[in-house]
């Protein structure tokens, strides 16, 4: 049986993961409009990955005998200044998600919910990768700038991202 406090927090995290997907889909739309299909592809895959994360929590809550209660998702940012601004926001957002996962893990420890701790360890490891990927792209964009051939080359590189 899932601890009620952990269940409530996981329902909130489902909303957070769905919002992340919504935010990244908004970023993908921005890149499509900006004629950067590689960036758009990368963000679309990121959005899909966040949806998968939400479903991982969704399934876990049900598997533990809990009840999923979906919550409203706020509208994401839709206007961005530049590709660099998008990825700086992405990095900031991933750091926020890392903090939320850590809080959820601390709650599972406090409540002695060992199964949740095991499941959340996967998310802790995942967040290390998420932050690393966003930070690498931020640094690349700082080097290449927002225009010209280097940006086009980076767009091609990001377009090669494979699913999963």
**How far apart (Å, rounded) are the C-alpha atoms in residues 146 and 125?**
31
Query: What is the mean pLDDT of the segment spanning 18-25?
Result: 98
Contact between 57 and 14 under an 8 Å Cβ cutoff? The reply is yes
- Put residue 145 in one of left, alpha, beta given phi > 0 → left and psi -120 to 50 → alpha: left
Give CA separation, 73 vs 18, 105, 115, in Å.
7, 23, 27
- At 56-95, the pLDDT tens digits run 999 999 999 999 999 999 999 999 999 999 999 999 999 9
Domains parsed from the chain with CATH numbers: 4-159 (1.20.1260.10)
Please, what sign has the CA dihedral across residues 153, 129, 62, 74? negative
- Average pLDDT over the chain reads 96
In the numeric block, the tokens 């590689």 are attached to 38
Q: Tally the residues of the chain.
A: 164
What is the distance in angstroms between the CA of the first residue and the CA of the last residue of the chain? 31
Query: What is the mean pLDDT of the segment spanning 44-55?
Result: 98
Structure tokens at 88: 């700086």
Looking at residue 164, its pLDDT comes to 60
């Amino acid at each position: 049986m899932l601890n009620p406090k952990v269940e409530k927090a996981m329902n909130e995290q489902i909303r957070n993961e769905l919002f992340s997907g919504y935010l990244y889909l908004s970023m993908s739309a921005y890149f499509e409009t900006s004629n950067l299909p590689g960036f758009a592809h990368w963000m679309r895959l990121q959005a899909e990955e966040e949806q998968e994360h939400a479903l991982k929590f969704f399934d876990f809550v049900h598997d533990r005998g809990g009840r999923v209660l979906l919550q409203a998702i706020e509208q994401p940012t839709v206007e961005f200044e530049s590709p660099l601004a998008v990825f700086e926001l992405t990095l900031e957002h991933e750091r926020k998600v890392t903090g939320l996962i850590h809080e959820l893990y601390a709650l599972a420890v406090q409540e002695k919910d060992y199964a949740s701790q095991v499941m959340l360890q996967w998310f802790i490891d995942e967040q290390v990768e998420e932050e690393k990927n966003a930070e690498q792209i931020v640094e690349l964009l700082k080097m290449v700038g927002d225009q010209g051939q280097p940006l086009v080359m980076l767009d091609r590189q990001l377009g090669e991202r494979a699913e999963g």
